[in-house]
Each structure stands twice: as C-alpha cells, then as structure tokens.
Amino acid sequence: MSPDPDPVAVLTDRLARLAELAGTSGADVVLITPGPDLAYFVGHSIGSHERLTCLVVPANGGPSLLVPTLERPGWTGSPVERMDVSIGTWTDGQDPYAALADLLPADARVLSVDYHMPAVHALNAQAIVPGAELTLAGETIAQLRMRKSSDEVTALAAAGAAIDRVQGRIAEWLRPRRTRWPPTSRRRSSTRGTSGRTSSSSGPARTAPARITRRPIGSSEPGMSS
C-alpha cells in the first residue's frame, strides 16, 4: 500500500497548473473566493459572507491569499500555511479591495473569477483596476478538476466499492410486504428529547415529523430483487 500523498505537494502542484492554464487562456490573474474551488486549491475554505476572502493566482508570479483579520485564526493549521502562499489580512473599516489591488500584478488587466464569487466582490475587483476585463475561470478550473491524479482515482474507486457493498445488501433489508412503518420502540424513542420527556407538537422551534406510511413495499418496487 503506497503512503498517502503529501497534501502540500498536491496543492502546490494544483496552483502551479492553474497559473499555467490561466496564462494560456489569456487571463492575467485568477481570483477565487470561498467554496469548493478554494478548498481544492489550498485545502481549506471558510465562508466569509460579505467580507472578502480571496485567493490570488497570477499567471506569472506567486499566489497569495487575502482574508479578513477577524477570520484569520480559522486558517491556523491549514495546509496553506505550509505552502508558498503569502497570507495577507484586512481589518473592518479598511477597504478590502484596496488590499486586493496590492496583491494583483501591476500589469493585470484580465481578471478571471471563479463561479462562486459574489457579484459584489467581482465587480469591485474589476473597479479597482482601470480598464480591467472580467472573465470567468470556471472552465479553466474544470480542466484541472476533471483530470484526476492516481491517488484521487484510488480514492474514488474505494468510495465506489463501498457504495457497491451497500447496494449489494439492500435485498437483505427490503422485503415484499414489509412496511415502512418503524417498530413501536423506535417510534417512541424518536419522540423523546434529550431530557427524556416525550415531545409534543406544540411549542416553539418544533420540526415537523417525517411523513411515514404503513403501505407495504411491493416486490416490483425499485431496489427489490426479483
């Protein structure tokens, strides 16, 4: 069994390939905000809501990460701290887009943003660069994400095998004429709260119970073996 890959090496390679693809696509810099793409490239992502968090990946030059000072502790211990990525902060009351401008290449004109960037951040990023053109980086990022490394292929194969094992046992759990109605003991336990008292349908913040049917499962239904 091969050892697990070094996450820092994997992420660093992804950033290098993103920068290369950015250059060939005509982008001067790729800007990525919190979401699955940010996690893919730096191994971590924290939703910053209206505050700007942005990964800056120039076609030429080193990458950097801008995060709100308030949320900087949430990045402690994440892989990006061990990568060759400069981490900068901005504080409430400061202009985050001015801080972003300081991280952009001096000659950057084509800014390529990921699909998850809020419009307010994308448009303000464009506004800080006179004559800037805004493009989408989604297709460029997809080119990287659709090509799996051998380790990713191995992990996907393991996940698929686990699903197959579950699927192979469904017939053990589903039987014709068995109803979806849970046993009495389960019904009682599901209506009790942490205090051990039976919950009622009245009172604030009550969630609606799941709809349960007594209809028997038919032998021709999906999941039933013939």
Q: Look over the chain and give the mean of its residue pLDDT values, rounded to a whole number.
A: 83
Mean pLDDT of 134-157: 85
* Confidence (pLDDT) at 47: 87
Helices (H), the chain: 7-25, 36-42, 96-101, 119-127, 138-145, 150-173, 184-190
CA gap 152, 3 in Å, rounded: 13
Give the whole-number percent of the chain exceeding pLDDT 90.
60
Mean pLDDT of 151-175: 83
Domains within the chain, CATH numbers bracketed: 7-145 (3.40.350.10)
Q: How confident is the model at residue 175 (pLDDT cuts 50, 70, 90)?
A: low
* Confidence (pLDDT) at 196: 44
pLDDT of 39 above 90: yes
Of 69-73, 84-88, 137-141, 201-205, where does mean pLDDT reach its minimum? Answer: 201-205
Mean pLDDT of 170-177: 72
pLDDT of 15 above 60: yes
Q: Which residue has better confidence, 150 or 38? A: 38
> Exposed e or buried b for every residue in 86-103, given b needs 16+ CB within 10 A?
eebbbeeeeebbebbeeb
CA gap 12, 31 in Å, rounded: 16
Q: Which residue has better confidence, 49 or 3? A: 49
- What is the pTM for the complete model shown? 0.69
57 burial class (0-12, 13-18, 19+ CB within 10 angstroms)? buried
Per-residue model confidence as pLDDT tens digits over 113-139: 999 999 999 999 999 999 999 999 999
